[in-house]
Amino acid sequence: MEPRLFTREPMDLAAELAAGTYGPVTCGDLIAEIEAAGLRGRGGAGFPAHIKWRAVAANPGPRVVVANGEEGEPVSHKDRWLLTHRPHLVLDGLLLAAQAVGADRAVVYLSHSDTVTAIGAALAERAPAVRVDVHVVEPTYVAGEESAACRSISGGPALPQARPPRVCDQGVDGHPTLVSNVETLAHAAWIARHGAAAYRRRGTPESPGTTLVTLTGAVAEPGVYEVPFGLTLTELFDVAGGFTCDPAGFVMGGWFGGLLGPRHANLRVTYEDVRAAGSGLGCGAVTALAAGQEPLAVAADITAWYAEESARQCGVCVRGTAAIRDAFAALRSGTASGKDRADLARWGETLPGRGACAFLDGAAGWARTVLTEFGGVTT
């Protein structure tokens, strides 16, 4: 059995070598191999990784690759865990990505001091073939968005930028840039050694391989786990010791995928199944609501956070997140009108895709899923 991404103990280079992590790269064309493996980006969008990689490689150099470890989702810890436990696997994926797209500069983009320490120690243990910089940014929800990362590394604010240009065309210092989530890079390093066919032995045909998930809430042993795609939500929480009570719902994708009701306990955790349920897998964080936790109170608190955390660059985001917050506050207090419900239903459908980044989509997801899943709640 090939090694997994997940290890209980942090691994320095000696531990990685002893574990046999770094065998020879078995593929001639890593971009073709990650395409054959069906690797999707793990930063939240689930976009096929090879498309971004190929777009950067097709542009004239110089090119830059960025390992994005700025984990803005409040309940997700998998990127931070990966950077502190498997820093060499991330660096290896970053350097292989640089080679694959023809980049001569690499950047590790992160926030937390423990990740800075871990990556610094790992870099001191190896001699990268290309320049590797470590760029530290203040943690915010939007700082991890890829255009925000490129702006920050270029000396600007860590705020998203309207597209075009896409960062694969003009990113860091105006150069074509591949911004790849650190988990995506770790999977790419794994695929480079073990191949697409081995990767596809886990997971499902449409969502192959494994994923890191952060499980919180009503669960016996909250934490980060590596699981194959295709488990049901109940099986997922069984990996972490099981539910501590009958869950009242599931907050999906960090806070990005909205709220699914308890009827989804047997929903399979794949990109396709979760999307078909009206939600999103996002960064892979799932919180089980405890029995008795009031869905409207959770929605009111989290959408208030959205209104507070908006980067306030796009009028539609400032107004939209505030309006969603106010409607949920009215629902929670029992003062909501039929118009509030109708507005939420409409915003859930019409606001996604309207901001310069996907932040507004997350707030709209709450409007859409809470009404669909808990439409019968009394106010």
* Among the listed residues 199, 256, 306, 359, the single contact to ligand SF4 using CB under 6 A: 359
Detail the DSSP E strand segments found in the chain. Answer: 64-68, 105-110, 131-136, 177-181, 210-217, 223-228, 249-252, 259-260, 285-289
Q: How far is the CB of 237 from ligand SF4 (least distance, A)?
A: 31
- Locus of tokens 């498997």: 86
Closest to ligand SF4 by CB, 120 or 315: 315
Residue 112: C-alpha distances to residues 14, 184, 187 (Å): 24, 19, 22
Residue 207 backbone zone (phi > 0: left; psi -120 to 50: alpha; other: beta) = beta
* Among the listed residues 355, 365, 368, 370, the single contact to ligand SF4 using CB under 6 A: 355
First to last CA, the chain: 53
* Among the listed residues 313, 322, 345, 372, the single contact to ligand SF4 using CB under 6 A: 313
Closest to ligand SF4 by CB, 141 or 243: 141
| Residue 317 engages ligand SF4 in binding (rule: CB under 6 A) | yes
Cα gap 331→81, rounded to integer Å: 37
| Residue 160 engages ligand SF4 in binding (rule: CB under 6 A) | yes
Touching ligand SF4, residues 240-279 (CB under 6 A): none
Q: Contact 11/181 with Cβ under 8 angstroms? A: no
Instruction: Please count the other Cβ atoms lying within 10 Å of the Cβ belonging to residue 239.
Output: 16
Q: Contact 159/39 with Cβ under 8 angstroms? A: no
| Residue 66 engages ligand SF4 in binding (rule: CB under 6 A) | no
* Among the listed residues 143, 167, 186, 314, the single contact to ligand SF4 using CB under 6 A: 314
Closest to ligand SF4 by CB, 21 or 147: 147
| Residue 310 engages ligand SF4 in binding (rule: CB under 6 A) | yes
- With b for 16 or more beta-carbon neighbours within 10 A and e for fewer, the 107-117 pattern comes to bbbbbbeebbe
Residue nearest to ligand SF4 (CB): 355
Q: Position 322: which residue type?
A: A
Query: Three-class SS of residue 259?
Result: strand
Cα gap 5→199, rounded to integer Å: 12
| Residue 142 engages ligand SF4 in binding (rule: CB under 6 A) | yes
Q: Which stretch binds ligand SF4 (CB under 6 A): 28-36, 173-181, 299-307, 355-363?
A: 355-363
Instruction: Please count the other Cβ atoms lying within 10 Å of the Cβ belonging to residue 217.
Output: 20
Q: How far is the CB of 167 from ligand SF4 (least distance, A)?
A: 14
* Among the listed residues 100, 107, 307, 311, the single contact to ligand SF4 using CB under 6 A: 311
Closest to ligand SF4 by CB, 147 or 210: 147
* Among the listed residues 357, 364, 367, 371, the single contact to ligand SF4 using CB under 6 A: 357
* Among the listed residues 356, 367, 370, 371, the single contact to ligand SF4 using CB under 6 A: 356
| Residue 360 engages ligand SF4 in binding (rule: CB under 6 A) | yes
Cα gap 131→224, rounded to integer Å: 31
Instruction: Please count the other Cβ atoms lying within 10 Å of the Cβ belonging to residue 263.
Output: 10
Site size toward ligand SF4 (CB under 6 A) is 13
| Residue 150 engages ligand SF4 in binding (rule: CB under 6 A) | no
Query: Three-class SS of residue 66?
Result: strand
Cα gap 149→145, rounded to integer Å: 6
Q: Which stretch binds ligand SF4 (CB under 6 A): 43-51, 117-125, 165-173, 350-358?
A: 350-358
Q: Which stretch binds ligand SF4 (CB under 6 A): 86-94, 127-135, 231-239, 309-317?
A: 309-317
Cα gap 177→170, rounded to integer Å: 7
Q: How far is the CB of 22 from ligand SF4 (least distance, A)?
A: 38
| Residue 312 engages ligand SF4 in binding (rule: CB under 6 A) | yes
Residues found near ligand SF4 in the complex (CB under 6 A): 142, 160, 310-314, 317, 355-357, 359-360
